[in-house]
Amino acid sequence: MSYHKVKNGKLVPAGRFQVLVDNFYARNEPMIIRVLDAITRFFVKLKARPVLWVLSRLMGTVLPTGEVVTTGRALRFVDAVSRLDRVEIAVGPCMCQKALGKRSGTYMKDMVILYGAEAYKAAYPAEYRDLSAGEAKEALLAFEKEGLIPTFYSCLRSSGWIYAICNCEGKICFPFRAHQAAGAVMHRGPDVVALNREDCTGCGTCVERCHFGANRLVGGTSEVDLTKCYGCGLCVSTCAGHARKMAERSGYSPRYYPIDLVAGAPA
Ligand code: SF4
Ligand code: SF4
The CATH label, of 3.30.70.20, 1.20.1300.10, 3.30.2130.30, 3.50.50.60, for the domain at 192-248 is 3.30.70.20
What would the pLDDT profile of 210-228 be if each residue is shown by its tens digit? 999 999 999 999 999 999 9
As a whole number, mean pLDDT of residues 152-160 equals: 90
Residue 143's pLDDT is 98
Output the CA–CA distances (angstroms, integers) from residue 216 to 37, 142, 222, in the order listed: 29, 26, 6
What would the pLDDT profile of 230-244 be if each residue is shown by its tens digit? 999 999 999 999 999
The residue whose C-alpha atom lies closest to atom 8 belonging to ligand 1 is 200
CA distance 218 to 79: 40
Q: Which atom of ligand 2 is nearest to the CA of 236?
A: 2
What would the pLDDT profile of 178-213 be if each residue is shown by its tens digit? 999 888 899 999 999 999 999 999 999 999 999 999
Residues 6+ apart with CB under 8 A from 123: 23, 26, 27
With the CA atoms of 159, 249, 73 and 158 taken in that order, what torsion angle do they form, in degrees rounded to the nearest 10?
Answer: 10
pLDDT band at 149 (very low <50, low <70, confident <90, very high): very high
Contact assessment for residue 70 and residue 192, using Cβ atoms and an 8 Å cutoff = no
Dist. CA 208 → ligand 1 center (Å): 10
Confidence (pTM): 0.95
What integer best gives the mean pLDDT of the chain? 94
Ligand nearest to the backbone CA of 168: 2
> What are φ and ψ of residue 64, in 5° steps?
-60, 145
Q: Where are the domains of the chain?
A: 4-189+252-264, 192-248
Q: How remote is the C-alpha of 261 from its chain's centroid?
A: 18
Q: Which atom of ligand 2 is nearest to the CA of 231?
A: 3
CA distance 88 to 81: 8
The residue whose C-alpha atom lies closest to atom 4 belonging to ligand 1 is 203
Contact assessment for residue 241 and residue 204, using Cβ atoms and an 8 Å cutoff = no
As a whole number, mean pLDDT of residues 83-104 equals: 93
What would the pLDDT profile of 28-68 be if each residue is shown by its tens digit? 999 999 999 999 999 999 999 899 989 888 888 888 999 99
Contact assessment for residue 234 and residue 149, using Cβ atoms and an 8 Å cutoff = yes
As a whole number, mean pLDDT of residues 138-153 equals: 98
Residue 1's pLDDT is 56
**Is there an atom of ligand 1 within 6 Å of 205 CB?**
yes
